[in-house]
Amino acid sequence: ASVDIVTDFVGDTEPTGVGTGVTQIGPYPSGTTVIITLVHDNDPGCDAVLPAESYICPPPNDDCVNAIPVACNSVTAGTTTGATGSVEEDNGCGTSDGAPGVWYTVDGYSGLMQARLCGSSYDTKIRVFDGACGGLNCIDGNDDSCGLQSEVSWTGVGGTTYFIQVFGFSGATGNFQLEVLCGDQNPPCPDNTAELELNT
């Protein structure tokens, strides 16, 4: 006997006349929920509706070696939804471990550097490292600096690559805005003095 495989996803190719063995269906967009029905060719009493399946693909920068470069004085939108974690994440750098996260790099600036998540939609954590994947050195980490969001400041060194880990408190995941700032963002005001000449 054989079965046909039917899904509720519009536009996919559904296998027919499938016998024993492994049959691949899909691919489906990340986060799509698909209901699969096995339709028996000869006996409708043998039809079976399988539990709904949904799979969220990990972000492309799910681990340190795939960190995405960002520039000084930039804002980058990202998500930790679907992140699976990596060995570098369980290290306690500056803040306790939390939900799996994602990774970025920024080239060092000789002076004040900041990485901020203050425009994010969930309870974030952040860590900054130098070194190399598999041998990272902790610079600092933070949990709640701007409400439930996070930020870290450090003195950068030109020519150094810094790794930024974005993750969440406890099991929190979601969308974030990573702002990387280099240099003093509040320079002193210029001298605006004026001279007055009084004649009596």
- Which of 74-78, 124-128, 188-192 has the least mean pLDDT? 188-192
Where residue 193 falls among pLDDT bands split at 50, 70, 90? low
Per-residue pLDDT at 85:
78
Residue percentage of the chain with pLDDT more than 90: 55
64-182 classified as CATH 3.40.50.620: no
Give the highest mean pLDDT range of 78-87, 180-189, 190-199: 78-87
Per-residue pLDDT at 183:
93
Q: Which residues of the chain are in CATH 2.60.120.380 domains?
A: 64-182
Mean pLDDT, rounded, for 98-127: 95
- pLDDT at residue 115 above 70? yes
pLDDT in tens, 50-106: 888 777 889 999 999 999 999 999 999 999 999 997 766 667 798 988 899 999 999
Looking at residue 6, its amino acid is V
Per-residue pLDDT at 188:
54
Tokens of 176: 């974030």
105 versus 10: the higher-pLDDT residue is 105
Per-residue pLDDT at 72:
97
Q: Report the distance separating Cα 3 and Cα 114, nearest Å.
A: 58
Residue 23 and residue 7 in contact, taking contact as beta carbons nearer than 8 Å: no
- Tell me the H-state helices in the chain: none
Q: Report the distance separating Cα 63 and Cα 49, nearest Å.
A: 36
The alpha carbon of residue 8 and the mean position of all alpha carbons in its chain are separated, in whole angstroms, by 30
Residue 140 and residue 92 in contact, taking contact as beta carbons nearer than 8 Å: no
Residue 130 and residue 162 in contact, taking contact as beta carbons nearer than 8 Å: yes
Query: Which of 101, 92, 36, 20 is CA-nearest to residue 63?
Result: 101
- pLDDT at residue 4 above 70? no
Mean pLDDT, rounded, for 174-181: 97
Strand partners, 5: 38
pLDDT in tens, 16-43: 777 777 877 777 777 778 888 888 888 8
92 versus 152: the higher-pLDDT residue is 152
Strand partners, 180: 74, 115
Do you know the residue count of the chain? Answer: 200
Per-residue pLDDT at 55:
76
Q: Report the distance separating Cα 159 and Cα 113, nearest Å.
A: 13
